[in-house]
Amino acid sequence: MKASAELAPALCSASKIVGRVAAGKSFAEERVALDGAARDSARAALLDIVQGTLRRYGRVQAITRALSSRGRAEPALEALLWCAIYALESGRYADYTVVDQAVRACALLERWSAKGYVNAVLRGLLRERNSIEETVAADPEARFQHPAWWIEILRAAYPEQWRAVLEAGNARPPMCLRINRRRTSIDGYIERAAAAGVVARRIGEAGLILDEPVPVERLPGFAEGEVSVQDAGAQRAAGLLQLAAGQRVLDACAAPGGKSGHILELVDVQLTAIDADAARCRRVQQNLSRLGLAAQVKVADCVRPAEWWDGTPFDRVLADVPCSASGVVRRHPDLKWLRRAADVVAFAARQASMLDALWQVLAPDGKLLYVTCSMFPGENEDVVSAFVARTPGARRVPLPDGAPAQWLPDSEHDGFFHALIEKPA
């Protein structure tokens, strides 16, 4: 059990953030301010409550509705109750501590008259847990903690695995590293990490999964570019490109630069990395500089090649396109509640236009790797199949690693889709 000294302020701050997300603001924007918190312990408690509440958003909403005697409370109090319910169910604090600190948080929110209401709702949950569980079980959004439309897409696409996929989406994500083999070895890094109190095991060609997540500042050699944080599913892309020294390679949606860095760690190629956002391009450059690598980084929209392409075709194109991010939702738990079913259709239209544009810059006999961090067929198989059907000569070829195109999230990696398309000579 954790000490309670910081819980009331954490509940207060978390409820404000969760309330803004519930009103439609992205947690990524809120995270910037959160990362500036002065003390690591306060930041850790706050981050746990915010992310935990957002992962259980459907559940905490249903519980609040079931227990509230006054119907919908004002947004500030609803968000406080959601956060307090998560704290109760997390097992990190004693029940009486959460109730007491949530009541104290009412004063911090300047909702003094609501103390009795918040106390009654939380004590009601402690008394009526069995009946509450029956209510939750009858509500798919509360039970699976995903929107109903999202659940239905996964149920139809993966009739045998959809429950496991939803459970993975509610779990804490693994922390995976990619070793820069130009600067260190995997076995050597495992030993150095262990000496620093960081326990890791090998996954894939250059990956390590940590037993417990740690701040990057604790990773030996991080500042020196020996290691990067990158999910094992994302590390798959560079190897599927079948790179060779001297090739011209385009990373068409490069930010934040993880895949660009991996490509350059593997092979000496002429890499061009583009992204439509200038700030994101600066981040690509910073990440490559940390790794001791270099590429031509351009602020450009890949669907307008006339504005950035010099006319010399690329041997390989990596199209890691914008998508719903349904495969990485455990890292961004607000997304499943901010997204709408219509967004999948909109993303698919954008993805189709990107494929059409990037095909123009691909050399004859070249290969384009289409990548999403989505689990929705409407952004994956459907987009690729439609592109191949309408594009003369385009041919989808088997992935070199022999694994399926669609990786579903599990304890070791997020959900990713990869498809390799070849252009005729």
pLDDT in tens, the chain (425 residues): 555 667 999 999 999 999 999 998 888 877 766 655 545 667 778 889 999 999 999 999 999 999 886 666 788 899 999 999 999 999 999 999 999 999 999 999 999 999 999 999 999 999 998 899 998 899 999 999 999 999 999 999 999 999 999 999 999 999 999 999 999 999 999 999 999 999 999 999 999 999 999 999 999 999 999 999 999 999 999 999 999 999 999 999 999 999 999 999 999 999 999 999 999 999 999 999 999 999 999 999 999 999 999 999 999 999 999 999 999 999 999 999 999 999 999 999 999 999 999 999 999 999 999 999 999 999 999 999 999 999 999 999 999 999 999 999 999 999 999 999 999 99
Q: How far is CA 231 from CA 15, 179, 284, 303, in A?
A: 29, 12, 17, 27
Q: 263: which 2 tokens? A: 């490509």
- Nearest residue to 245 via CA among 315, 298, 318, 183: 315
The first and second tokens of residue 242, run together, are 């079948």
- Stretch (H or E) spanning 298: strand 296-299
The pTM assigned to this predicted structure is: 0.91
Phi-psi label, residue 311: left if phi above 0, alpha if psi -120 to 50, beta otherwise:
left
Residue of 106, 176, 281, 373 marked active site: 373
Amino acid at 63: I
* Helices first, then strands: H and E counts in the chain: 18, 12
Q: Domains (ranges, CATH) in the chain?
A: 7-145 (1.10.940.10), 176-229 (3.30.70.1170), 236-422 (3.40.50.150)
Instruction: Report the alpha-carbon distance of residue 231 to residue 89 in Å, rounded.
Output: 28
Structure tokens at 208: 């390590």
Of 248, 239, 245, the C-alpha closest to 365 is 248
Tell me whether residue 373 is one of the annotated catalytic residues. yes
